[in-house]
Structure 1
Amino acid sequence: MSDPVLSLRDVHTDIAQYHILQGVDLDVPRGGVTMLLGRNGVGKTTTLRTIIGHWKAKSGTIAYNGDEITSLPVPARARAGIGFVPEDMGIFADLTVEENMTLAAASGPLDPQRRDWLFTVFPPLRTFWHSEAGNLSGGQKQMLSIARAMAEERSLYLIDEPTKGLAPAIISTMAGALRELKRQGASILLVEQNFAVAKALGDTAAVMEDGRIVWTGAMAELAGDAELQERLMGLSMEAH
């Protein structure tokens, strides 16, 4: 693979006394969706948080667009064009949807054209624009969380389990938004437990086990091989 947007080489991350990432090697192709898969607790969320800088890599290197960012603070990584959607959503419950979006547009006021585009991708945002975020439903909060990362155009999005616990209609909206990001040329590294979503959205896949990447390849190859799924993750996608 030539010119990946993101490359991790031998990345180790400790959290307290625990050695979570144990030499992660990962390339994220430019302009596609890479699924980061694996059993619970193998290090997927820690990988995303290490890339954005919430956790500091103990050793190894992280390169984004060819530049090493391993030691950069979180704001510098965001300004460089990396968006992050945490599993816990990361919204401000006491602020309105509009205020949440305004804060997310770090380089200045939210561009009206970008706002209107987000309204087409996430129609409920328009309806609840002046409502406090804390009053939204779980699915609406997740939409707002992803929309915040999309407030400005970014070249790489790190998204942690965006469809967890959501109704099928909301999942469909989420998937449509991610397809639109991909259509615009963005690269996405996506942690997702919903295998139907992973199969539908993923171009490539990386499977983690015990803090390491143990398999990489085409998402279609993994989705079409039940034996490989069982060997890597202990389950079959067709059963989910």
Structure 2
Amino acid sequence: MSDPILTLQGVYTDIAQYHILQGVDLQVPRGEVTMLLGRNGVGKTTTLRTIMGHWRAKAGKVMFDGRDIAALPTPAIARMGVGFVPENMGIFSDLTVEENMVLAAVSGPIDAGRLDWIFAAFPPLKTFWKSHAGNLSGGQKQMLSIARAMVEERQLYLIDEPTKGLAPAIISTMARALRELKQQGASILLVEQNFSVAKALGDSCVVMDDGRVSWSGAMAELAASAELQERLMGLSMEAHQ
């Protein structure tokens, strides 16, 4: 792999007395969608939060675009061009959709063309622009969460289970928006439990188990092998859609 945008080398992260990440090594190719897969509780969310600086790595390197960001605060990482969509959405329910978006635009006023693209990807956000985010449906809140990360062009997006609990029509909307984001040249590291989404979007894949990377390779290779899926994750993609 030449010139990955993100590389983790021997990353260890502890949370309280628990040793969550135990030597994570992974790479995210530039301009591709990398799926981060594995059973619940193996360290996927901790990996994203460690990259973003929410949790501090005890050891190892987190190299973003050639620079070790492991010791940087979260705002500095965001300003370098990393967008983050947490599993809990991270929106401000008491603020309007517009106010949520304005707060996410750390570099200044929202670009009009960028906003038009977001409205085309997620039409409900335009409809409820002046409404409080707490009044949105679950799917609309997830749209807002992703849109907040997209409000400025980022080099890398870290996205944690964006389709969890959503209806199929909204999942299709999410997948289409992420595909368009990739077409714009962005790199994406995506945690996803919906294997049909992973298969459709993923270029490469990293599978975690017990705080370490147990396998990495092409998403197509994993998708094509039920035996590999069973060995790495204890289930097959076809049986778990």
Give TM-score, length-normalised by structure 1.
Answer: 0.99
Partner residue in 1 for 2:79: 79
User: In the TM superposition, what are the counterparts of 1:218-233 in structure 2 within 5 Å?
Assistant: 218-233=218-233
Which residue pairs with 1:132 in the alignment?
132
Matched position secondary structure for 1:228: helix
Deviation at 1:107, TM superposition (A): 0.8
- Provide Cα deviations, 1:214-237, integer angstroms capped at 9, x if missing partner: 100000000000000000000000
Q: In 1, distance between residues paired with 2:134 and 2:197?
A: 27
Following the alignment from structure 1 to structure 2, what is the Cα–Cα distance between the partners of residues 112 and 93? Answer: 24
Unaligned ranges ≥5, structure 2: none
Query: Residue 210 of structure 1 aligns with which residue?
Result: 210
| 1:164 match | 164
Q: What is the DSSP-based 3-state SS (H/G/I as helix, E as strand, rest coil) of the residue aligned with 1:63?
A: strand
Structure 1 match to 2:23: 23
SS in 2 for 1:163: coil
Cα shift at 1:31: 0.2
How far off is 1:52 after superposition? Answer: 0.2
Residue aligning to 1:67: 67
Q: Secondary structure at the match of 2:146?
A: helix
Q: Distance in 2 between matches of 1:12 and 1:67?
A: 18
Aligned ranges 1:166-181 → 2 under 5 Å: 166-181=166-181
**CA offsets per residue over residues 47-95 of structure 1, 9 Å max, x none?**
0000000000000000000111110100000000000000000000000
Distance 2:141 2:63 in 1: 31
Q: CA deviation at 1:114?
A: 1.0
CA distance in structure 2 between the aligned counterparts of 1:92 and 1:110, rounded to whole angstroms: 18
Question: What is the TM-score with the length of structure 2 in the denominator?
Answer: 0.99
Q: Which residue of structure 2 aligns with residue 105 of structure 1?
A: 105
Give distance in 1, aligned partners of 2:131 and 2:169. Answer: 22
**Distance in 1 between the 2:231 and 2:210 partners?**
14
For residue 110 of structure 1, report the CA deviation from its aligned partner.
1.0
**Aligned residue number for residue 46 of structure 1:** 46
Report % sequence identity: 79
**Residue 196 (structure 1) aligned with residue 191 (structure 2):** no
Moved more, 186-195 or 116-125: 116-125
Alignment-mate amino acid for residue 109 of structure 2: P
